[in-house]
Structure 1
Amino acid sequence: MRRVGQMVAMLAGLDLAQGAAAQDEALPLPSGLEARLQEVLTDRPGDGLVYRFRFVAEGFAVSEAVLADLSWLCESYALPRLSNIGPQPARVVISLADKPSEFGIYDPDVTQVFESFSLQGGACVWELF
């Protein structure tokens, strides 16, 4: 049964990535930067299905504008794509980095932030970690 769950999550992730138009699509952020989708990952931690949208924006640096950028990516990019999949996630995690990196591997040369959002009433609600 676990393999079936993993397969569903993998296929849903593929659908999300394919529905992403193209990973080369530039997404203008509120901060003025342009982000591009790196990848979409799915998993099932203890509290339910999670989709991780990983974005890259050249020139990204941590600033006060980062939460606005992450919220915008959740509301304007991730949320519309969730309606095209079967199982709905409990949370969406949005990450933004200055260059591509491998998920789960620490790279001191990459500046990266991520935030978790719950989905309530058709909106992304920021959760404090």
Structure 2
Amino acid sequence: MIFCALLSALPGAARAAGGAATATQAAPAAALIPLPSGQVVTLFQVIWPRADERRGERRLRYRFVAPRIARDAARRVDARAVEDDMLHLCTHVALPALRQDGRQIDEIVITLMARPVPFGSTDPQVRQFIDTFLPEGDQCQWEGL
């Protein structure tokens, strides 16, 4: 199942050291990422798990801005296409960055947002898709509910 949201990151970009608080880093200047659906997204934020998070709770979050998921977008991308895009972002953006970094995490969370929304906030005017994946070797496995 997909929940509304969008966001992405490039391998090695937007790294942050894990500390007592959640490590968050803004994305580098407007890296455009083309996706299988034909939409182009930009990396907005990468959030690494805190160093004190226990096994089973360590989540690497990649947040992307995807204007074409907006309800009023001229060429709106539908939910089915977003599923494929999110798997692509996990496999080709988040997973390579994780492997390069070497930290141990339990899940990768991909978020797509029609426009930026601060982490942990909601905005009923902004369509978002959020999905969770398990890193398995060189693949992302969708973690269905």
TM-score bracket for this pair, using the shorter chain length: 0.7 to 0.9
2:5 aligns to what?
A: none
Q: Distance in 1 between matches of 2:97 and 2:90?
A: 10
1:34 aligns to what?
A: 40
Q: Distance in 1 between matches of 2:99 and 2:22?
A: 15
For the pair 1:127 / 2:143, whether they are aligned, the reply is: yes
**Residue deviations 1:6-49, cap 9 Å, x none?**
34862xx55xx6xx6x3411000111110101101123377231
Helix, strand or coil: the match of 2:100?
Answer: coil
Runs of 4+ more than 4 Å apart: none
Match runs of 1:1-129 below 5 Å: 6-7=19-20, 10=23, 14=25, 22-43=28-49, 44=53, 47-61=56-70, 62-129=78-145
C-alpha displacement of 1:121: 1.9
Report the TM-score when normalising by structure 1: 0.80
**Residue deviations 1:85-109, cap 9 Å, x none?**
2422111000101100011111011
More helix by share: 1
Q: Distance in 2 between matches of 1:121 and 1:86?
A: 13
Q: Distance in 2 between matches of 1:9 and 1:38?
A: 16
Report the TM-score when normalising by structure 2: 0.72
Matched residue count: 119
Helix, strand or coil: the match of 1:65?
Answer: helix
Whether the 8 Å CA contact 1:58–1:98 is kept in 2: the answer is yes
Q: Distance in 1 between matches of 2:140 and 2:29?
A: 22
Q: Which structure has the higher relative contact order (CA within 8 Å, separation 6+)? A: 2
Whether the 8 Å CA contact 1:27–1:36 is kept in 2: the answer is yes
Q: Distance in 1 between matches of 2:21 and 2:67?
A: 33
Q: Distance in 2 between matches of 1:23 and 1:60?
A: 21
Q: 1:9 to 1:107 in 2, by over 3 A?
A: closer
